[in-house]
Amino acid sequence: MILVTGGLGFIGSHTVRALLDLGEGCVLVQRRTAEVPASLAGAQVVVEQADIADLTALLDVGARHKITGIVHLAGSMPWPPSPKQPVEAARKAVGSLFNIFEAARAWGVSRVGVASSIGVYAGLTSEGPLREDMPLPMTSSHPIPAFKKIGELLSDHLAGATGIDVVSYRISGIWGPGDPHGALLFAAPALVHAAVRGTEPDLSLLLAPAYAEDSIDLCYVYDCGRAIALLQLADQLNHRTYNVASGRATSNAEVIAAIKKVVPDTRIVLPARGTGQQSYLDITRIQQDTGYQPAYDIERATADYIAWLRAGNER
């Protein structure tokens, strides 16, 4: 069975669904008590209560289940960070990663996947594809990409030291059913929600104003979950780092155009004062090594998301 940390979260739940569709059972580790969700009732899924920061509790999970692989999607850094205990928070984040590798060694796991982020590319100014072999800036303006870089470096070191097959997922801008963030990092989810509700989009959480030309590599969460599952189950991987993305830049203007095909009377408008810079994650590696192809372009993704919200789902 594949152990998935953060398996009841946004990306985690869709990854679990994809693993199940590919014939794998899953053990979901949650810090708080949780039951198997109704959407997975009857599936080969077990939810175990354990804090991955507690090595003994984590190892006990492997005593109850035959764990053959690990997909580590739980957050590496508490957010928002505690201003009173920054050292302890950092120690816990890094210690949890060490515990994952200790468990992998104890259980004889052959492959560990670790979530990274599109944020590691922040600071690169080139347009066009962002490739996994590009040199990354050593600094980060935000704790999350900082700890993702730390996680990648530690994972690469431990892969060499332990012989465990390790893969880091550089995950792009993920959106779709179950998105808990709204317009936290990019505008698209809020634009869709506003169209369904017939309201103005709430973009107050964005770090900067949203413009029509602003773009990001938007990857629908179904594609993201399937990509991670394919990386976990591939017979052989030729790299330790893979972009998990759509492989194209999608602008807010394109999102609005796709929304208007489903909700023609929406009045969502964004000002046209953005830079128009088009950068996106190159997905050649994952395509070559797993056969992954995104199934949801912006129009299909938008229509599906709107239908899911109109069916009465909250997020």
Q: Give the CATH number of the domain where residue 238 resides.
A: 3.40.50.720
d(CA 257, CA 273): 17
How many structural domains are present in the chain?
Answer: 2
Model pLDDT, residue 123: 83
Helix (H, G, I), strand (E, B) or coil at 279: strand
Residue type, 308: W
Nearest C-alpha neighbor of 136 from the set 276, 148, 107: 148
Maximum Cα interatomic distance, the chain, rounded to a whole number of Å:
58
Cα 153 versus chain centre, distance: 18
In a domain, 164, yes or no: yes
In a domain, 153, yes or no: yes
d(CA 263, CA 17): 29
118, 179: one domain: no
18, 121: one domain: yes
Model pLDDT, residue 43: 79
CA separation, residue 19 to residues 15, 73, 90 (Å): 6, 14, 31
pLDDT 10s per residue in the chain (315 long)? Answer: 999 999 999 999 999 999 999 999 999 998 887 777 777 777 799 999 999 999 999 999 999 999 999 999 987 555 555 566 778 888 888 899 999 999 999 999 989 999 999 999 988 877 789 999 999 988 888 888 889 999 999 999 999 999 999 999 999 999 999 887 766 789 999 999 999 999 999 888 888 889 999 999 999 999 999 999 999 999 999 999 999 999 999 999 999 999 999 999 999 999 987 666 788 999 999 999 999 999 999 999 999 999 999 998 865
Sign of the torsion angle spanned by Cα atoms 101, 167, 132, 206: negative
Domain that includes residue 267, residue range: 175-218+249-279+295-310
Residue type, 255: V
